[in-house]
Amino acid sequence: MNKTARAFVFLALILLPIPAPAGSQESGAAPSSLPFLFQEYRLRNGLRVVLSEDARLPLVTVAVGYGAGTLREKPGQEGLAYLMENLMFQGSDNVSPLQHIAFIQKVGGELNATTTADKALFYETLPSNQLALALWLESDRMKSLVITPAAIGRTREELLGEYGERVAADPYLETFSEFDSLLFPDQLYGHPVIGPRMKDLLEGDVVDFHRTYYVPNNAVLCIVGNIDPGRTRDLVAKYFDSIPPGQDIPSPPQPVFRRENDVVEGHIRIPSESAGFHMGFRFFPLQAGDAYCLRILEYVLLEGETSRLKARLLRRDLTARYLTGTLDERPSIAAIKLFCLATNAVMVARSEKAILAEIEKLRSNAVSLEELDRARLRFKMDYFDRLSTNLGKARFLVDAHFAGKRLDELGGELAAVINIGPQALAAFSAKYFIPQNRVVLEFGPQ
């Protein structure tokens, strides 16, 4: 093949959508057992685009995710990803500071942004006849964000001020970041998204971070709602195709976790009369299928009033006033995190003991099929509930993209979770629920 022909083939390849598997109901639509269809393709500049049509309401959600989460912060740069997220509202070549918000709200839309370990996500839901407005706004800040020392200083001051107000108003807030630093001892995961070190960030840090990570080849654009896919492709091409790509993006750094010799324990004092604790279990390195076990275990232990831990602490033993928990899934590690307010200081130890007793049961006895069915159904219901809105679908797709999943395989996830059986749960529990994976942080009145 001569050079001209090779160049032509290469150009054709990057212009073509990523081929949909056989069985598509429409050209480019990815078939799956997801309760919705979507199309996925990539622009020449590397921007990945996902479209999904839902004509039930005259709304559209536009979500743009950048692989620019806290994992990208270097030591000493804690808070940089969150600062950058907020600077994205400080204006671009054609949009004045904070006018992005104004444009969206003017037409009745809602918007927000969030920063996690793996990404910064920006999204807006607005009337579907205003799709072009959202694309214009998102493309303008992707192409020509204006970063000035004044904007950095002002935004940083506001963020730290508001964080200080939240800390003052919520006596438990800082216990969460303290607990995370114990649970994830690696520097990459163990620091909060915002903290006092944000004030030490330099303008150069911000500019470098933006130039490196806020580029189309490190981003995904997801559009879900009442759209005409053909016209939407045209609009996406119009607004995004000419944005130049950045340099090649290095793979995110891999946190290194070390198993402790025993339980990690800590205690802090808080400005409140309540006593309680955080308890967490770390799971690493995760093997294939482990994530599905964890999702069911979360429901067995924590979801619903009859779940094991809630029934035991809140209904039977009455050692706690409040108990909540979550499954925190991150690249290469996951954790079940519990937060408990005991009925009084004495009940802290009793509540912890009761939780460990329930965990021990998981290790030694198989979960009954009846209990498992309940967890499965609850999981299934929450799954469909999450996917019932445009934003829910968009976030589902963007999350999956940054988790390194193939979007056309997502449809199999629900079945994979539902098919987890008692033996798999018992084996998982025996392997991971060990003292060396457990972290406890107690808190009480000063």
Footprint on this chain of other proteins (rule: CB under 8 A): 35, 54, 56-59, 93-94, 101-103, 105-110, 125-133, 136-137, 139-140, 143, 162, 165, 168-169, 238-239, 242, 304-306, 321, 370, 373-374, 376-378, 380-381, 384-385, 388-390
Name the minimum Å distance from CB 175 to other proteins.
16
For residue 284, the SS3 value is coil
* Nearest CB to other proteins, comparing residues 59 and 80: 59
Residues 6+ apart with CB under 8 A from 119: 65, 66, 67, 68, 69, 398, 402
Name the minimum Å distance from CB 99 to other proteins.
9
Residue appearing with tokens 């942004």: 113
Tokens, residue 396: 């589902």
Name the minimum Å distance from CB 286 to other proteins.
26
Cis peptide before 285 (omega within 30 of 0): yes
Q: Which amino acid is at 241?
A: D
* Nearest CB to other proteins, comparing residues 165 and 409: 165
Element (H, E) at 126: strand 120-127
Q: Cα(106)–Cα(126) distance, rounded to whole angstroms? A: 10
Q: Within 10 Å of residue 190's Cβ, how many Cβ atoms?
A: 15
Chain centre distance of CA 26: 30
* Nearest CB to other proteins, comparing residues 110 and 200: 110
* Nearest CB to other proteins, comparing residues 254 and 368: 368
Tokens, residue 401: 């993209």
- Nearest Cα neighbor of 70 from 136, 121, 125 is 121
Name the minimum Å distance from CB 202 to other proteins.
26
Name the minimum Å distance from CB 161 to other proteins.
9
Chain centre distance of CA 125: 18
Dihedral sign, CA of 183, 184, 185, 190?
negative
Name the minimum Å distance from CB 388 to other proteins.
6
Name the minimum Å distance from CB 427 to other proteins.
25
* Nearest CB to other proteins, comparing residues 2 and 261: 2
Cβ contact 146:92 at 8 Å: yes
Query: b vs e for 395-405, b when ≥16 Cβ sit within 10 Å of the residue's Cβ?
Result: bbbbbbbbeee
* Nearest CB to other proteins, comparing residues 117 and 224: 224
* Nearest CB to other proteins, comparing residues 26 and 385: 385
Residue 29 pairs in a beta bridge with 39
Residue 111 pairs in a beta bridge with 124
Cβ contact 338:325 at 8 Å: yes
* Nearest CB to other proteins, comparing residues 299 and 433: 299
Name the minimum Å distance from CB 377 to other proteins.
3
Q: Cα(252)–Cα(248) distance, rounded to whole angstroms? A: 12
Residue appearing with tokens 């620091």: 191
Name the minimum Å distance from CB 59 to other proteins.
5
* Nearest CB to other proteins, comparing residues 248 and 370: 370
Instruction: Describe the strand order of the beta sheet including 276-283 as a list of residue ranges.
Output: 264-270, 438-445, 276-283, 333-342, 320-330
Cα-flanking dihedrals φ and ψ of residue 92, to 5°?
-140, -175
* Nearest CB to other proteins, comparing residues 163 and 402: 163
Name the minimum Å distance from CB 55 to other proteins.
10
